[in-house]
Every structure is written in C-alpha cells, then in structure tokens.
Amino acid sequence: MCGRFTLRHPRRVRIWGVPAAELFDVNPRFNIAPSQQILAVTQIDEKRTLGLFDWGLAPSWSTEATGFINARAETLELKRSFSDSFHSRRCLIPADGFYEWQKRGKIKQPFYFQLQDETPFAFAGIWDEWRRDGVSKISCAIITTTPNKLLAEIHDRMPAMLPAEHYDAWLNRDTQSEELMSILAPFPAAAMKSYPVSSDVNHAKIDNETLVQPVESILEAQPSLF
C-alpha cells in the first residue's frame, strides 16, 4: 500500500500542460497522510488542471464521505468502487518520495523511497466527486501494484509510479484498458533508492525535513536470538 508520501520540492514538478506558476504557493510537505488534501492533475478534453483533492476516494454513490486511500491495480475493473473512475476519471498525483514499513514481529521500521536523482514523479490515481445535501467532496486514491525488487524486501505492494512518457496516455480518456493496465507495471528498481528513517513519520502532525534523513534501522539494532 501507500500510506504516506512527500512533496519536498513542489516547484520542481513538471507535468506537461500545467503551468509551473500554479505550484508557487505550494508548501513543501514531508509527511502527507490519508484524509489530507493532496495535489492532483486531471484532464478534460485537452485542458489539464492542477487541484486539491481529499486523499481517500469516496465513490459518488457511497452513503458516506469516507473512502479508499489505495486502489489495487488488479481490481480496478472488478470493483464497483474503482471501475467507473478507472475508465473515466484518472489523475496524476505529484510526489518525490514515499514511505513504507518493514515488519518484524511487533517492530515496524519505516523506509523512505525515492528516485535515484531525487526528482519528482507522479503516482497513477483515480478520482470521484461525492455529493450529499449540498456538500461536495472531490477525492482520490493512489493505485498500487506488485513490488519491484527494491520494494519486495520491505512490502508486498508499491504505489504505481508512472514514467513521464506515460502521462499523456494515463490522462487521456480514450486510452484503452489494455494499455492502461500495462502502464501500471512496477517502476524499475534500478531507478530508485531507499533507506531507513525515523519512526516519527508515524505521527501525521510531524511534518518536517528530519523525517527524510537516514537513521540506523531499529531492526538491525535488535539483538539476535542465535
């Protein structure tokens, strides 16, 4: 899954068709958490728009405004919660890193993942608009896929990170399902790097640059039983 991510350098985001000026007032984030508002790029016809969406997809037909932070690529066409958005409401979610936790017994060690050159990238996402009693909520979910070799050592899922050459196809409503599914392949492990970070990331109220600084893994520090 993907439950926390970063956008440390929002002005470095380059998504074709979205003016860079729209990112000038975006503050750096080091611990973006579910239910918070996140940036997402959508496209209607040929026009792209950068907006703020609630992180947690609430389907339009749902009785509640709560929703899914992640959508498994394998079930996008099978689950009612995702299928309509997958076919007609896809988005790009700018990021430059994300966290995942390795479990050993009761111990959970967070790791930070980013590209080798630390540049921003985009998660594949889907979105929907929920309306009830005059209240409107636009929300989204990050799609997850099977892990690459780097992630597989830590977790059995990873967010679907899209190479820039696939942005157009992902946002184009006319792209066929077969091509869309092929786009959701695991991102190349050789283009990424990771390291353990502080468990402070577990607390959503902590949002500063210390969270992405390397630390000694608490898993390695545990005494061996043998």
The domain locations on the chain are 5-221
Q: Which residues, including other chains, have CB under 8 Å from residue 28's CB and lie 6 or more apart?
A: 7, 8, 9, 10, 209
Residue 225 reports pLDDT greater than 50: no
Per residue in 54-112, pLDDT (tens digit) is 999 999 999 888 889 999 999 999 999 999 999 999 999 999 999 999 998 889 999 99
| CATH assignment of 5-221, among 3.40.50.740, 3.40.50.1100, 3.90.1680.10, 3.30.230.10 | 3.90.1680.10
Choice among 2, 64, 118, 216 that is catalytic: 2
First-to-final CA distance of the chain = 33
Burial category of 137 from C-beta neighbours within 10 Å (exposed 0-12, middle 13-18, buried 19 and up): middle
- The predicted structure's pLDDT at residue 22: 66
Residue 226 reports pLDDT greater than 60: no
The verdict on whether 2 is a catalytic residue reads yes
Round the average pLDDT of the chain to a whole number and report it: 92
| Residue 174 token pair | 């006319």
Per residue in 147-170, pLDDT (tens digit) is 999 999 999 999 999 999 999 999
Per residue in 123-140, pLDDT (tens digit) is 999 999 999 888 899 999
Beta strands in 8-120 (DSSP E): 29-32, 37-44, 47-55, 70-72, 90-95, 97-104, 107-115
Q: Are 146 and 158 in contact (CB under 8 A)?
A: yes
In sequence order, what DSSP letters do the residues of 123-139 get, joined into one string? EEEEEEEEEETTEEEEE
The verdict on whether 140 is a catalytic residue reads no
Q: Which residues, including other chains, have CB under 8 Å from residue 71's CB and lie 6 or more apart?
A: 57, 79, 81, 82, 86, 126, 141, 142, 143, 144
- Look up the pTM and report it: 0.93
User: Which of 68-72, 116-120, 214-218 shows the lowest mean pLDDT across its residues?
Assistant: 214-218
Per residue in 178-207, pLDDT (tens digit) is 999 999 999 999 999 999 999 999 999 999
Choice among 46, 74, 77, 100 that is catalytic: 100
